[in-house]
Amino acid sequence: MYDLIMYTRTAGCPFVTLAKRVLHDYNVPYREIFIDEDPQAYARVLAWTGFASVPTLVAAPRGDVLPYAPVAPLPAGASPRGVHRGAMITEPNVQELCAWLLEHGFISEGDLHETFN
* Average pLDDT by stretches of 10, the chain with 117 residues: 96 95 97 98 96 97 97 90 96 97 94 64
Q: At what angle do helices 94-103 and 14-25 cross, to 10 degrees?
A: 50
- Total of domains in the chain: 1
Predicted pLDDT at 117: 47
Contact 3, 104 (CB under 8 A): no
Contact 49, 56 (CB under 8 A): yes
CATH number at residue 83: 3.40.30.10
d(CA 28, CA 37): 24
Domain extent, residue 105, equals 2-116
Peptide bond into 55 cis (omega under 30): yes
